[in-house]
Amino acid sequence: MAFVFTDDNFQENALAETGVAVVDFWAEWCGPCKLVGPIIDELSHEYEGKAKIGKLDVDNNPQVSMQFGIRSIPTLLFIKDGKVVDKHVGTATKATLKQKLDALI
């Protein structure tokens, strides 16, 4: 299962750590998010120990969403060594996301 990012743990788990993190900004009511969600779960399992991959519910965690200017969901942020290095807005295939991840690891 994918890591659950929150306003409270985001700094510690996405920005303060070295390595790669992928954060899926989503909401329960978002149809396209329901397409990306299972892919994020699969990738979190496949990249366990290589990258921290998880989800952040924008309805329950508005601070991080505002901090990064998230206006559309799903939005995925790719973070390496505490800095946002890539961003993907909208749905994506597993192959596309794997390609982005592999380029960062």
pLDDT at 1: 83
Give Cβ neighbours of residue 48 (< 8 Å, ≥ 6 apart): none
What gap in Å lies between CA 64 and CA 9, rounded to an integer? 10
Asked whether residue 17 carries a pLDDT value surpassing 90, the answer given is no
Average per-residue pLDDT for the chain: 96
Asked whether the beta carbons of 88 and 75 are under 8 A apart, the reply is: yes
Pairing of strands 83-89, 75-80: antiparallel
pLDDT tens figures, 18-32: 999 999 999 999 999
Select 3-104's CATH number: 3.40.30.10, 3.40.50.300, 3.40.50.980, 3.90.79.10.
Answer: 3.40.30.10
Given the residues 15, 27, 30, 35, the one annotated as active site? 30
For the whole model, what pTM was predicted?
0.95
pLDDT at 82: 95
What gap in Å lies between CA 81 and CA 15, rounded to an integer? 7
77 classed as catalytic:
no
Is residue 93 very low, low, confident or very high in pLDDT (cuts 50, 70, 90)? very high
Q: Specify which residues 87 forms β-bridges with.
A: 77
Asked whether residue 57 carries a pLDDT value surpassing 90, the answer given is yes
Asked whether residue 40 carries a pLDDT value surpassing 90, the answer given is yes
53 classed as catalytic:
no
Given the residues 14, 21, 33, 64, the one annotated as active site? 33
